Amino acid sequence: MSSVRTLLVIEDNPGDARLLCEMLAGERTRRVHVGTMIDAETHLARHAVDVVLLDLGLPDSQGLDAIRRIRAAAPEVPLIVLTGTDDDVLAATSLPQGAQDYLVKGQIDSRGLLRAWRYAGERKRLELTEIRGDGSL
């Protein structure tokens, strides 16, 4: 990635959060970790981020509710959903709710995470262009 970008990792398991951040160690990123939805909403209200990695199993928000809350807090920020289960129904449902990608913990490597990050950003830019209808970004 050409410039420093900010990644918000919303993950209640510190080990999983550390692993995700380590996967991006070679990238020019600022990585911020929070462990609850309320902390994520507070951070998003005060700080700009470029991408959100969202665990769907938080202590104060679960599943599609977590996606809806992040979409409400940061509607234009690309969102990558993380889950501990390989659930095709949840994956298929999370995308129309506003996620740009869906990753299963334990099946992610650095290359896949970077690809998801880049894809999520591009997909979100295209969605916003379609919504605006004017070709602006």
Identify the structural domains of the chain with CATH numbers, from first to last. 5-132 (3.40.50.2300)
Q: 26-30, 71-75, 114-118: which has the highest mean pLDDT?
A: 71-75
**Reported confidence tier of residue 1, pLDDT bands at 50, 70, 90:** very low
Give whole-number Cα distances, 134 to 77, 100, 129, 130, 137, in Å: 19, 21, 7, 8, 9
Confidence (pLDDT) at 134: 57
pLDDT digits (tens, 9 = 90+) for 6-42: 999 999 999 999 998 888 888 888 999 999 999 999 9
pLDDT digits (tens, 9 = 90+) for 83-104: 887 777 787 788 889 899 999 8
